[in-house]
Amino acid sequence: MRLVFVLLAGLPLLTFAADFSDPAPPVVNALQQNLAPKAPAPQKELTFHIAPQPLAKDAVTTDSLGFLGSTHTPISPETHLRADLKDLPKVWETEKGTGYAPPSILGDRLILFHRIQDEEVVDCLHADTGQRSWRFAYPTQYQDRYGYTNGPRCTPVIDAANSLVFTFGAEGKLHALDLKTGQLLWKRDILADFKLEPNFFGVGSTPLLEKDLLIINVGAKNACVVAFDIKTGKARWASPAPKDWGPAYASPIAATIHNQRRLFVFAGGESHPATGGLLCINPDNGVVDFSLSWRGRRDESVNASAPLIIDGDKVWISECYGKGGVLLQLTLDGANKFSAKTLWETDKLGTHFMTALPFKGHLYGCDGHGPANCPLVCLDIATGEEKWRTEPDLSESITTRSGEQKTLRLNTDRCHLLHVDGKTLCLTEWGHLLYLDLSPAGCNVTARTWLFAAGETWSPPVLSRGLLYINQNAPDLLNKKPPRLICYDLRGK
């Protein structure tokens, strides 16, 4: 591998791999072109409740092709949604295996990635009915060292142009499948190919589809970020990082800034000492414009929140293990290279795995790694000043199986925010779904419902064509229902 050195004003000496050689190019299978897609059929795990109401005539809808939908931000362009969350209709629900991976959706095809016993499973379901058209599975031996779920973490990624879907499992098994039939195009074992040790919680950084490339924070020596050809699985280029930063749990994002396309990767997983930070990369060749070291000092810390582009030329990164958050101003020089200037740093908002919401000049997110003491916080984007922090009281009165009345003290904890149709949806750690009125003056809960009494509700909500898909990742404490994927009708009249 030949390394090229780039010196940027005010920034450390950086390198990129100019002639990176793929250590283990995969075999590409010939797909059976005349194989007719199977019609969806009900599976025994499925319960269908009621058909969704028709979409409003002028409703704006979207597909959800990867992490945080097609925008890769906690903002959705969908419109004409229900204003009331009480008695939110269920369309269908299906029992699922373990894992935190939210589904991806293209039209009426929904991809669910989960683990059933000793297999990681990819299911293609009908988005409106939950009926399955195909299943692909392969063996796995992953065991979470901290006792969390043994299932996959990464959102499936759909390539609409080529009708492909990509899944990245907890052991680093990467698969490219035909979206219509489930046929295997190619597969890779990323940990084996790049000689990597397992990370804290397995693999958890969802790949990013960028044109004909699949961008992954591999975290290998001299190959921190790797771009794979979507049709062959072969690596096209690799970007190193300072001090051999490892793979994080944050998903890469892409943005066009000053008419230049760039990738932003927040790296940093298991290492001793803990290292990691932000890389700004040219997707055409893997050249690193700049890097910024940003990582908590604890060995057990991770970088898990995706970078966020704000106002078109700023980038926010944040972690919850002591370093906190920083807002950077991006500047393009005459050689079309970006540099970054720190506008402000803060220890007031350290996000764990949620992506903070920028809204009307302010930044909203949950501060801390929880499970308790993880309040919602509002910061002024211009100054970093904290406007407020709060833990909304979401206490619930329940009746135990012995007949005892009991009050559960609940709040938002490690939640996800989604701004849509002029309102902000909040999915809480314990299964509440809220509408929040967020402003610098405060946080008001304007609507609420309790979907289920289950913890580890850490998968982002997925909204597509007015239907809301929620992962229940743990058994319901009240009715013992197992983990499920539930489709709710959020369509307004």
The answer to whether 176 and 168 are in contact (CB under 8 A) is no
CA separation for the pair 298, 110 (Å, rounded): 38
d(CA 40, CA 33): 19
Got the DSSP string for 292-312? EE---SSTT----SPPEEETT
The residues of the chain scoring below 50 in pLDDT are 1-15
Instruction: Specify the DSSP class assigned to residue 390.
Output: E
Task: Identify whether the C-beta of residue 303 lies closer than 8 Å to the C-beta of residue 316.
Answer: no
pLDDT score for 18: 55
Alpha-carbon span 436 to 442, nearest angstrom? 10
Going along the chain from its start, the domains and CATH numbers come out as 12-24+42-489 (2.140.10.10)
| CA 119 – CA 137 distance, rounded (Å) | 6
**Which pLDDT value is given to residue 404?**
85
Counted residue by residue, the chain has a size of 493
Tokens of 241: 């990082």
First to last CA, the chain: 59
Max CA-CA distance within the chain? 72
Helices and strands of the chain, counted as H and E runs: 1, 38
Alpha carbon of 48 to those of 52, 119, 127, 284: distances in Å? 11, 26, 12, 46
Q: What is the DSSP string of 200-212?
A: BTB-----EEETT
> What's the pTM value of the predicted model, to 2 decimals?
0.95
* ∠ Cα 187 189 194 (to 5°): 130
325: left (phi over 0), alpha (psi -120 to 50) or beta: beta
